[in-house]
Each structure stands twice: as structure tokens, then as C-alpha cells.
Structure 1
Amino acid sequence: MKWTVTGAAGMLGQDLVAALKARGDDVVALDVAELDILDSSAVMEALGTPGASDVVVNCAAWTQVDSAEEKEDAAFRLNAVGPQNLAAACRASGARLVQISTDYVFPGNGTKPYGEDDLLDPLGAYGRTKAAGEWAVRASGADYLIVRTAWLYGEHGTPFPKVMAKLLTERGHVDVVTDQVGQPTWTKDLVALIIALIDAQAPSGTYHGTSSGQGSWYEFTQEIAASMGVAKEAVGETTSEAFVRPAPRPAYSVLAHDALRKIGVEPIGDWRQRWQAAAPAILADFVAKD
């Protein structure tokens, strides 16, 4: 099977490319230097011919939530126009498109996990642009899988666990919000789910690629501290009011996994258990070695 990964230099893209190569698949890794997904002609030339690729996974995105409030036009181009271009090429070539989306397409005021078909009602610019990307892909006529994820962390870049670990190392204490609840999700688990969906020949549609269970940022940071050998008392409680940001954060970002179960694909395991598996690699620079 031939895969193409756009946004291949990002946190998710790097793990996806590595996993595909490890299992012996043919993978073409493209970042902006190799393919600008905003250039519709270039995208069609690269991916619009039958046989160019069997699966295109779009990991390219504007993920800077706060800056999207000031630069929504730029975020819209990358999060909506880019996927539209990829979808058009996939429709022309017959390739499957996997579009990575986000919990931010929902308003975050729910009390039960959001379903795959629940109404989209984003709070801010980032969510609006990602929702527009979903709509563009659905309307394209391409064979697509939209995979929403949330609270993503991995070995590459500076995800939340590394930021918290650095603060705990330097300050010995950190205050973290208790009133934002979600599902911390490891990039390698999301990669495995994407591959499982393709292997299962999942029907076109929307799926949720998040860990099971739920927890607050405060609870996640307590787990991070424990993995570092730091007392949980080093993590203090606070609320969102103390951390006013340009972009609104959803208070409740828990996603349901009914669509996965319906097709016989097992959702990602409980976030605490998955963190235990991920922690040694994520925190390698922060945990003292014997």
C-alpha cells in the first residue's frame, strides 16, 4: 500500500511516517518544502493521478490556537483550503483521504461525550477553520475519513507533558486548571488507530481518535509529576479565570467512540494507562537515569 503523509515534519506526521516505514509500507513524506497544500495545481499534479497514492493522510494544520484569533485568514487557508485541495486530488486519483480534525469543532459546554454526528459549534477561530476543513472534505466527493483528536502529545516538539515537566523541574511547583476536561492522547496511539481504520476498510465518515476515559489538565499534570518521581503535591489547582488566553478553551472536550465500535475497531485505551506506556519516551530528558 502506498501512503502519502502531508505535514510529515510535525509531531503526528513524524510518528506516522516512522510507523508506516516500520511495517514495510511505501510512504512518501511531504512537508511544506516538498508540497504546499495551498497550491491547488501542485497538489493535483502530485496526487491527482490514479496510482499516485492509495491513502493520503493530512497532518498539516494551523494548530496555534491563540494566534488563529488574530490570523484567522491564514489559519483558514491551511485548515480549510488545503484540505479542499487535497480532497479534490484524491477524488481525481481515487485515493482515500484521512483528514485530522479536532475537539475544538464542538462548543465544549456538554455534559456527555460528543458524538461523531453532533452539531458543530466552535467557540473560536481555530475551531471554525477546522470545521470548515471538515465541511470541505465532506463536500468534495472524495473517499474520506475525518479523524478528530484532542489533547495530543508525542515525543517531537514541545507538547503539554514536556512543558509541565520543564516547569516542575525549574520551579518545583506548577498550578494547573481543573475546569477543562478532556482525553490526553498519545500520537503513537492515534497513528495505530489511523492504520487500523485503513486496514479495516472503514466506511467513509467521521471517527474519534482520542483515548478513553476523561481527566482534567490538573489530573494529567499529576500523572506527569508521578512519572517524574515528583510528589503530586507539586501540582496545584487553579481555574481558567486565572489563565485568560486570546482564544476560548472548551471546558468539556470528551469525545465518544461509537463509530469505531460500530465497525469493529477498538478505541484507544484509557488515557492514564496509555500515559504510563508513553511516559518513558516523552519524559526521557526530564527523568534521572540510574
Structure 2
Amino acid sequence: MKVLLTGSKGQLGSCFQDRLPDGWEIWATDSDVLDITDLDKVKQAVTQFKPNVIVNAAAYTAVDKAETDRELAARINETGPKNLALAANEVGARLVHVSTDYVFDGNATKPYVEEDATNPLGVYGKTKLDGEIAVAEVQPDAIIIRTAWVFSEYGNNFVKTMLRLAKERDTLAIVADQRGCPTYAGDIAQAIIDLIQKKSQGGVYHFCGDTEVAWSDFASVIFNVALEREVLEKKPIVNNIISSDYPTLAKRPSYSVLDCGKIRSENIDMSNWKSALEEVLLKLK
């Protein structure tokens, strides 16, 4: 199995490399090595390497910055995935593309299934949805994985931010009216590997953590586990606030819980994020 990986230095890309099965050959690229927004360069790279699978873990993920940086967000989140799909078709490769829960508006009252209507609230979610559509049109057999609230031992994420703030402050105000499912990047990587090995049907799959929480709940769990594992010497007091108390450029969905029944039918378990959190905190320690 030959895999071309994009976004190799991000959370998912790093975890994917950690879990690469024996016998798989990988070309791990980042934007310095391969600019996915340049179709000619993408085609040249793919023709040269001739992968069986392309895993696109590259994305523009600065949700608020995207509101004023629309062009770059669109190039990375829409044009880039389309270029990868076009190049994949030329060598008979399959594309696995990673998307987000932010394609939904958060007005649901039960977990979103893959067929639910999308309605992104901001530029980030809109460009990610456009990327999904572009990929599906170019390569109908591509696998598109929507995930949410990603954390890991790599890169910048909510867990690391909370640990840093906990060492600086005695109290923290955390949003309590946005609910979703934390997801360990290592579990997303394993799910991708499993889907590839199983030669699963193309289309959209939801994959996220196994229990839903608010951001404030997630923070409290992080602090409790970090204290138990002696990653923190003390834990701050968490004060619940509502989204309007903490205005951001981009509006977030208030409820973005994903129904993972489809991917579970492939015998792939959801991310046990509390167990993964313990492992991540020990690694960070």
C-alpha cells in the first residue's frame, strides 16, 4: 500500500504516521513540500509517486481568521481537495478527505447523520463543505470523514490551551452552551486506516468521540485527569459562560454532535476520548 499524506505536520497527519501499518509506504508531505492549491504540482507529485491512496489531512482550520481570509481558506479547503481528487483519478488512486462538524448550523436536537441538511455558519464551515462537494463530484468513490473537536499530543488544540491557562490562572471562564464530541486524532487516523484496509464504500462518514459534552465540561475533565496524573499541581475554578459572553468573529454551531452509526456498521468504534485524554496527558507530562 502506497499512501500520499498531506498535512503531515498537523495533529491528524502526525498521528497517522505513528499508526502506519507495517509494509505500507508513505510519502508524508506538508505545504512546504506539496502545495495542494497548485494543480500542476499536485499532478506531478501524484504521477511521480503513484499512490494507491491519498489521505488529505491538510486544511485551513483558523475558524475566526477565515472570516477575513476567505480566499486562502477557499484555496486550501476547496481547491486543494479538488486538485487531489483530480490527480488521484489520473493514477487510479482513492482519496480520503477529512472534513468537519462545522458544515452544520447546530440547530438540531439529535446527533447529525450524514444525510442531514448542511448549513455552515461561517467561512471555515462553508469552505470545508465546498471541499466535500468538489471531492464527491470529481471522485464519487472518495471517502469523506467528518470529525469534531480534535485533540492530541501534537500541534495546538483545546487540551493544550487549557493546560497552559491552568498554570497561569486560578479561574477560567469557559463556554457552556456549545455541545459536541471531543475526538482524539489518533483514533481518527486509525479509523482512516481501517476504512482503507476494509475497502469501504465511498461517501461521507461521521467519526467523533463517544460522549457529548460542553466546552466547559471538557475543560473540567481535562483538569481533573491532569491533577490525578500530576500533570497539574492545582486545577482552576471553571466558570460557565454563554457564547454571547465571549464573542468571536465566526459563529460556532451550538450543537454539533455527530451520529456515528454508519462508520460503526463497518466495525469501527467511536473515539473513547476520555481514555485517549489520559494517554495524551501522560505523553505531554
Q: How does the TM-score come out when normalised to structure 2?
A: 0.94
Matched, 1:62 2:29: no
Distance 1:27 1:128 in 2: 30
The gaps in structure 1 that reach 5 residues or longer are 285-290
The gaps in structure 2 that reach 5 residues or longer are none
Distance 2:272 2:30 in 1: 32
Distance 1:252 1:142 in 2: 29
Distance 2:75 2:130 in 1: 10
Matched, 1:42 2:41: yes
Distance 1:30 1:95 in 2: 17
Distance 1:75 1:40 in 2: 16
Distance 2:82 2:197 in 1: 24
Deviation (angstroms), 1:270? 3.8
Matches within 5 A, 1:146-185: 146-185=144-183
Matched, 1:268 2:266: no
Q: Which deviates more, 247-256 or 3-12?
A: 3-12
Distance 2:86 2:55 in 1: 14
Matches within 5 A, 1:7-22: 7-20=7-20
Tell whether the 8 Å contact from 2:166 to 2:236 is kept in structure 1 after alignment. Answer: no
Secondary structure in 2 aligned to 1:222?
helix
Matched, 1:52 2:58: no
Distance 2:44 2:54 in 1: 14
Distance change in 2, residues 1:48/1:258 (3 Å): farther
The C-alpha deviation readout for 1:107-165, integer Å capped at 9, x for no partner, is 11111000011111101100000000000000003531001111001111221011111
Deviation (angstroms), 1:97? 0.3
* Match 1:252 to one of 249, 252, 255: 255
Distance change in 2, residues 1:270/1:219 (3 Å): same
Matches within 5 A, 1:201-280: 201-229=199-227, 234-262=237-265, 264-280=266-282
Tell whether the 8 Å contact from 1:167 to 1:173 is kept in structure 2 after alignment. Answer: no
Secondary structure in 2 aligned to 1:253?
coil
1:4 corresponding residue in structure 2: 4
RMSD, matched Cα: 1.6
Distance 2:183 2:6 in 1: 20
2:130 corresponding residue in structure 1: 132
Report the count of equivalent residues. 280
* Match 1:93 to one of 87, 91, 104: 91
Distance 2:47 2:112 in 1: 34
Tell whether the 8 Å contact from 1:153 to 1:161 is kept in structure 2 after alignment. Answer: yes
Tell whether the 8 Å contact from 2:183 to 2:271 is kept in structure 1 after alignment. Answer: no
Secondary structure in 2 aligned to 1:4?
strand
Distance 1:150 1:23 in 2: 28
Deviation (angstroms), 1:208? 1.2
Distance change in 2, residues 1:145/1:172 (3 Å): same
Distance 1:143 1:93 in 2: 14
Secondary structure in 2 aligned to 1:5?
strand
1:287 corresponding residue in structure 2: none
2:139 corresponding residue in structure 1: 141
Distance 1:143 1:123 in 2: 28
Tell whether the 8 Å contact from 2:220 to 2:238 is kept in structure 1 after alignment. Answer: yes
Q: After the TM superposition, which parts of structure 1 deviate over 3 Å for at least 4 consecutive aligned residues?
A: 230-233
Distance 1:235 1:55 in 2: 44
Tell whether the 8 Å contact from 1:90 to 1:143 is kept in structure 2 after alignment. Answer: no
Distance 1:226 1:192 in 2: 27
Equivalent position amino acid for 1:14 in 2 = S
Distance 2:15 2:274 in 1: 20
